[in-house]
Amino acid sequence: MKVLVIGGGGREHAICWKLSQSKRVDKIHCTPGNAGIAEIAECVDIKPTDFDALIDFVKYEWIDLTIVGPEEPLAKGIVDAFRKEGRKIFGPGADAARLEASKEFSKDFMRRYGIPTGEYKVFSSYIHAEDYVRMMGAPIVIKADGLAAGKGVIVAKTVEEASDGLRLMMKERAFGAAGDRVIVEECLEGEEASFMAFTDGKTIVPMVSSQDHKRVFDNDQGPNTGGMGAYSPAPVITPGVQKLIMEKVMEPFLRGIKAERMGYKGVIYAGLMIKNGKPQVLEFNCRFGDPETQAVLARLDSDLFEIALATCEGKLSEEMVRWKEDASVCVVLASGGYPGSYKKDLEIKGLKEASKVKGVTVFHAGTAFEEGKVVTSGGRVLGITATGMDVRAAREKAYEAVSKITFDGMLYRKDIADRAIAGK
């Protein structure tokens, strides 16, 4: 079987890595890929949103299954384009992908199907939004309605911070059209966690829990990023909490996509806030999370290709999804200046040494080849992922591997998974 993976980040490297372990997969292609993915897949220089070129490639190469990593091609309808041509593709159509592409649509969907979430109001007027913020006070959350690469959320501790966030989104247009409409939302308290599940539109099968670290600096300081690290499992999601998540979030979600005939075949990701053992949904994403996927797939004991194919064919079952008892930790190495401006084409040293640490896999995100050397090419550069008998052991391995890697301006958090170890 031949598989095409769409995307070129750490998530896609983890997907390719797991697919490469399948006995049924003969060849993996990835577009556009990166320097690490190139070691296990054939990288193809086609933009993830060039659907005509991708479909031509799939036909020419006789690709059996396509798996979509990033949110943008999903939101723009890649799944609909492929299905129209009779091609198997893992992911939701554009209608369902609005659950991520539009915060307003997502919140309204949650309200329709009784999924617990914070109170909210939607604004297209800066003046009205600012008036509402001043009336409600802080803390309060400002969200760009559209896609903003995981950075369009501002948790404002003061009214002034909220006003600055509104100005950034609606007047300065820092996120382009994504900020034309904003959601002003109740600031939920508790502990965040990530919960992903496979669904073929009829059956929903949970993955192991994980927790992301969004802020760029230690102790959750600094601006939001696409994610600076993750670990699995998340202690806050106890068996009892997971049961509640399935009953209050995932099953109503499944009822909703059935009722609205969304034809959803892929991954649903719920960003959750847990307080006193009760979950509330912060957001839905319609694909694997990044960097949660690196931590989660490191624990998958089943064949990812078999799961993805069964999902596309409407044959998903709980029995085919099995997990290792090991814990995992992923530490993201980023370019200095991220999530703002940063330099590229900086040589990365120590990759082989890091890979030799037992239980460690180095997932590439923003990397490229240049004159025989691996260099930086993005904000998030690498995801150093380790497994161990528990989170503490996995964390020690991950940071041991991190210590062997260098590039100019290398930025990373030194407290990934500390919360889990401290039992907070």
CATH code of the domain covering residue 85: 3.40.50.20
Q: Is residue 274 part of a domain?
A: no
| Better pLDDT: 157 or 401 | 401
pLDDT at 173: 87
Q: What's the pLDDT at 263?
A: 86
Query: Domain ends where: 146, 180, 214?
Result: 180
Please check whether residue 362 lies inside any domain of the structure. Answer: no
Tell me if 272 is assigned to some domain. Answer: no
Mean pLDDT of 308-322: 97
35-58 as b/e: b if 16+ CB within 10 A: bbbbeebebeebebeebeebbebb
**What phi-psi label fits residue 415: left (phi over 0), alpha (psi between -120 and 50 degrees) or beta?**
alpha
CATH number at residue 146: 3.30.1490.20
What pLDDT is stored for residue 172 in this prediction? 86
Could you tell me the two tokens for 319? 């029995």
Four-residue CA torsion sign, 255, 258, 261, 265? positive
The answer to whether position 417 is within a domain reads no
Please list, in sequence order, all residues whose beta carbon lies within 8 angstroms of the beta carbon of residue 68, skipping any fewer than 6 positions away. Answer: 6, 7, 48, 74, 78, 79, 89, 90, 91, 266, 287
On the question of pLDDT at 317 being above 70, the answer is yes
Q: Mean pLDDT, to the nearest integer, of 250-267?
A: 95
Q: Is residue 388 part of a domain?
A: no
Is the same domain home to 20 and 87? yes
Q: What is the pTM for the complete model shown?
A: 0.93
Count the domains in the chain. Answer: 2
User: Cβ(394)–Cβ(416) under 8 Å?
Assistant: no
Task: Determine the Cα–Cα distance for residues 297 and 40; give it in Å rounded to an integer.
Answer: 16
150: confidence class by pLDDT, cuts 50, 70, 90:
low
Dihedral sign for Cα 198, 387, 278, 159, please: negative
Query: According to the model, what pLDDT value does residue 215 have?
Result: 92
Q: Give the pLDDT band (50/70/90) at residue 138.
A: confident
Last residue of a domain, one of 93, 110, 145: 93
Residue 209 lies in a domain: no
For 197-264, the DSSP string reads EEE-SS-EEEPPPBEE--EEEGGGEEEE-S-SEEEES-TTS-HHHHHHHIIIIIHHHHHHHHHTT---
Q: Please tell me the distance from the alpha carbon of residue 294 to that of residue 15, in angstroms, as a whole number.
A: 8
Residue type, 400: E
Task: Give 212-217 contacts, CB < 8 A, sequence gap 24+.
Answer: 212/289, 212/291, 212/292, 213/413, 213/415, 213/416, 214/150, 216/334, 216/338, 216/339, 216/411, 216/413, 217/413
CA atoms of 339 and 321, how far apart (whole Å): 35
The mean pLDDT of the chain is: 95
pLDDT above 90 as % of the chain: 82
Per DSSP, the three-state class of 411 is strand
**HEC readout, 272-301:** EEEECCEEEEEEEECCCCCCHHHHHHCCEC
**pLDDT over 60 (residue 424):** no
Range of the domain at 152: 125-180
pLDDT number for residue 154: 84
What would the mean pLDDT of 267-286 be, rounded to a whole number?
95
Contact 265, 199 (CB under 8 A): yes
Residues 6+ apart with CB under 8 A from 315: 200
- Please give the pLDDT value at position 107: 92
Please, which pLDDT band fits residue 423 given cuts at 50, 70 and 90?
low
CA atoms lying within 13 Å on the CB side of residue 2: 13
pLDDT band at 403 (very low <50, low <70, confident <90, very high): very high
- The string of pLDDT tens digits covering residues 84-125 is 999 999 999 999 999 999 999 999 999 999 999 999 999 988
Q: What is the pLDDT of residues 280-299, one digit of tens each?
A: 999 999 999 999 999 999 99
The answer to the question of residue 30 being in a domain is yes
Tell me the average pLDDT across 11-15.
98
Q: What is the rounded (10 degree) CA torsion for 149, 150, 151, 154? A: 150
| Domain finish residue from 75, 93, 111 | 93
Same domain, 86 and 135: no
Q: Over the stretch 369-390, which tens digit does the pLDDT of each residue have?
A: 999 999 999 999 999 999 999 9
CA–CA distance, 407 with 171 (Å, rounded to integer): 36
